[in-house]
């Protein structure tokens, strides 16, 4: 059996002390003023030997796991997949690995995932919560720094960064009204989720300010929900609505499929608008008008906030001022309404 490569092996091969090798491989060469020549040689030899550090031992020694827990409600949803990709990339750029968990919109699964993160000794947690109360999140955050993203609790001392869902839905609905639509069906996602509740509020606020009627239906951020609600609304050839507002791009896909089944085409027969922006929406015929969420900005703020807390706790300093931010979204106008 081949002997496992260790820091001592690399030290013997390069002629540098074990401490120097360790500092180079943990990204601390500049901090300890290690020469570029030494850094290059050590890195090259480590790559040649396919050296893998003992992360468990390193974690015990430094009290750092170099990992962040990321908890999402449904990775199969393109929105959460895109947001996860952004966060993972930002963490990687800081030299951190990500342990990802999917709560599947279940409070029980969310609790199990948070406990798992505790057991794995992650350095921090970025969480899209699904619970109705922050009790467990508050408890865990006392041990592990935590930042909420995309969703938040109305009463919480946890930092968060989210889209201003109320303003996004109000803006989308107002745009429909400006275009002359007066009977609007809003197809919502998970009713208990914070973004959905805020979108319902924004939709209703816009309708209250204009001469229009509307209805909210649906129960999931899914293609099936969009398809089912659209078929039900236009059954038997009835046309009770002249526009549909889909609360997510997944719901929108179901709406489009159902309209195709019904032989209805936007904007000829009705207007269609959606929350969330995906590049493929420009390739749908017609291209879909939608509300774009500032995902990269939200990801950057969440990561920066998390590391500011991690750094303060490690240094025994007061934590930075609480950040609870709602970022305004953008209306992307296309041809569907």
pLDDT value at residue 237: 84
* Superfamily of chain region 165-292: Response regulator (3.40.50.2300)
pLDDT value at residue 137: 98
Taken as a whole, the chain contains a residue count of: 337
Ordered alpha helix ranges (H), 7-77: 7-14, 18-25, 36-48, 55-62
pLDDT value at residue 3: 46
pLDDT value at residue 2: 42
DSSP 107: H
Using alpha carbons, list the distances in angstroms from residue 306 to 69, 115, 123: 11, 19, 10
Residue 197: is it exposed, middle or buried by C-beta count within 10 angstroms (0-12/13-18/19+)?
Answer: middle
pLDDT value at residue 60: 46
pTM, two decimal places: 0.81
Strands (E), 1-142: 67-72, 97-102, 124-127
Phi, psi of 293 (to 5 degrees): -90, 145
pLDDT value at residue 51: 76
Residue 107: is it exposed, middle or buried by C-beta count within 10 angstroms (0-12/13-18/19+)?
Answer: middle
pLDDT value at residue 1: 35
Residue 274 in 3-state DSSP? strand
pLDDT value at residue 49: 85
Q: Which long-range contacts (CB under 8 A, 24 or more apart) does 319-324 make?
A: 322/157, 322/159, 323/159, 323/160, 323/161, 324/152, 324/159, 324/160
Phi, psi of 187 (to 5 degrees): -105, 110
* The CATH number, out of the four listed (3.40.50.2300, 1.10.1740.10, 3.40.50.300, 3.40.1010.10), of the domain defined by the range 65-163+296-328: 3.40.50.2300
Q: Where are the domains of the chain?
A: 7-53, 65-163+296-328, 165-292
Topology match between the domains 7-53 and 165-292? no
Give the C-alpha separation, 146 to 305, whole Å: 9
Hey, what CATH class is 7-53 in?
A: mainly alpha
Give the C-alpha separation, 182 to 244, whole Å: 11
Percent helix, strand, coil in the chain (nearest 5)?
45, 15, 40
Instruction: List the chain pLDDT tens, one digit each, 337 residues.
Output: 344 567 888 899 999 998 898 888 877 788 789 999 999 999 898 888 887 666 545 554 555 679 999 999 999 999 999 999 999 999 999 999 999 999 999 999 999 999 999 999 999 999 999 999 999 999 999 999 999 999 999 989 999 999 999 999 999 999 999 999 999 999 999 999 999 999 999 999 999 987 899 999 999 999 999 999 999 999 888 899 999 999 999 999 999 999 999 999 999 999 999 999 988 899 999 999 999 999 999 999 999 999 999 999 999 999 999 999 999 999 999 999 9
Give the C-alpha separation, 244 to 184, whole Å: 6
Phi, psi of 104 (to 5 degrees): 55, 40
């Amino acid at each position: 059996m081949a002997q496992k490569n260790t820091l001592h092996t690399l030290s013997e091969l390069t002629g540098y002390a074990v401490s120097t090798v360790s500092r180079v491989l943990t990204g601390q060469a500049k901090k300890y003023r290690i020469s570029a020549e030494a850094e290059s040689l050590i890195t090259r030899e480590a790559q040649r030997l396919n050296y893998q550090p003992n992360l468990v031992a390193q974690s015990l020694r430094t009290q750092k796991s170099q990992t962040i827990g990321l908890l999402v409600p449904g990775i199969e949803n393109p929105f959460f997949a895109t947001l996860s990709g952004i966060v993972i990339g930002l963490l990687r750029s800081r030299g951190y690995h990500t342990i990802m968990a999917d709560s599947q919109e279940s409070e029980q699964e969310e609790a199990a995932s948070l406990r798992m993160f505790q057991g794995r000794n992650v350095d921090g947690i970025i969480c899209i919560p699904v619970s109705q109360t922050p009790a467990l999140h508050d408890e865990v955050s006392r041990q592990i720094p935590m930042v909420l993203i995309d969703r938040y609790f109305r009463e919480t001392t946890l930092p968060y960064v989210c889209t201003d869902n109320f303003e996004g839905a109000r803006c989308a609905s107002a745009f429909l009204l400006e275009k002359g639509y007066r009977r609007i069906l809003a197809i919502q996602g998970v009713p208990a989720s914070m973004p959905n509740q805020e979108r319902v509020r924004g939709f209703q606020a816009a309708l209250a300010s204009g001469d229009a009627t509307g209805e909210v239906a649906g129960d999931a951020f899914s293609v099936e929900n969009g398809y089912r609600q659209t078929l039900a609304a236009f059954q038997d050839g009835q046309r009770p609505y002249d526009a549909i507002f889909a609360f997510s791009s997944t719901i929108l896909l179901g709406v489009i499929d159902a309209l195709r089944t019904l032989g209805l085409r936007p904007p000829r027969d009705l207007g269609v608008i959606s929350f969330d922006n995906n590049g493929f929406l420009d390739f749908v015929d017609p291209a879909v008008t939608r509300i774009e969420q500032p995902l990269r900005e939200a990801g950057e703020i969440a990561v920066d906030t998390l590391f500011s807390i991690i750094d303060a706790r490690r240094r025994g300093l007061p934590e930075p001022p609480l950040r609870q931010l709602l970022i305004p979204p953008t209306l992307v106008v296309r041809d569907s309404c």
